[in-house]
Structure 1
């Protein structure tokens, strides 16, 4: 589903950053993301409020992990208001569909300084939860920690995907 409307003014610091972020996602190119990140970027995890990724290098590395687990990523046209913009994307993780909304705030240098992602529906979110954190943990803290995170996340993801199959029948 594409969003159409009046394009952002050419003077918006968000428009070039969103265009680059969309292109990076659709081509799975983390280096393209790097071009529009501020050195002090903060990426808020969509999986927990207890974790933020800070700094350009860490956010680029995170995008390498994200692009490694997402397939068939497509984006919609962005919405921009002042220094803030958003766009949605559709992708699959381990064959499970997910939809997400990126929300970014830019500085006057056309650099993303704040970045949030919201993910739905539940089966896509929990499959992402079972796939991405083990990979990020292994990169940041070692393979053993990645395996521990996977052993905690995968059963929870299985339980929530199963609940999603049956709970709607009772609503």
Structure 2
């Protein structure tokens, strides 16, 4: 039952099928944001716009890990958001019938997660009718994105092992 659920979760993301994804979630499921512990999405009504935004931005999705038992699964995949590569791990809590009741998301590396914030934040705010917040997020993330990308290219290599 849990393998069937993670298979639907995987196929939904790979094909950008929101209805298939929702069929893997319990009606009152909770998704915890990878960006902050202050944001979570509860129930199909809040999950639908989140999935629509995610599926509109994620490309080249490739799952490489699905492990766990009947009550907890961990699935991991790589993808692209624009030019940035990300790797996301999702810890899925399942109820007895196999439906997902809770998801906690983890994303790496830092340039990827900031790109995710830059892409998803304004879109989610717009879909929730928060146009001012969407504009603010779109502007506020740009300097952070520039700093992270610059640091990843220039500063991080300085701290790594010598070749």
Would the TM-score normalized by the shorter structure come out above 0.5? yes
Secondary structure (helix, strand or coil) at the match of 2:36 reads coil
| Structure 2 spans left out of the alignment, 5+ residues | none
Secondary structure (helix, strand or coil) at the match of 2:128 reads helix
Secondary structure (helix, strand or coil) at the match of 1:158 reads helix
Relative to structure 2, which stretch is displaced further, 97-106 or 137-146? Answer: 137-146
Contact in 2 for aligned 1:106/1:114 (Cα 8 Å): yes
Whole-Å separation in 2 of the counterparts to 1:136 and 1:97: 21
The superposition leaves residues 123-158 of structure 1 with CA deviations (integer Å, 9 ceiling, x where unpaired) of: 111111111111101111333321111111122111
The residue that corresponds to 2:118 in the other structure is 130
The residue that corresponds to 1:87 in the other structure is 75
The residue that corresponds to 1:166 in the other structure is 154
Contact in 2 for aligned 1:14/1:80 (Cα 8 Å): no
Whole-Å separation in 2 of the counterparts to 1:128 and 1:16: 28
The residue that corresponds to 1:110 in the other structure is 98
Cα offset for 1:61?
A: 1.8
The residue that corresponds to 1:60 in the other structure is 48
TM-score (norm 1): 0.88
Whole-Å separation in 2 of the counterparts to 1:33 and 1:60: 9
| Pairs aligned (count) | 159
The residue that corresponds to 1:29 in the other structure is 17
TM-score (norm 2): 0.92
Cα offset for 1:70?
A: 0.9
| Structure 1 spans left out of the alignment, 5+ residues | 1-12
Q: Which runs of 4+ in 1 moved over 4 A?
A: none
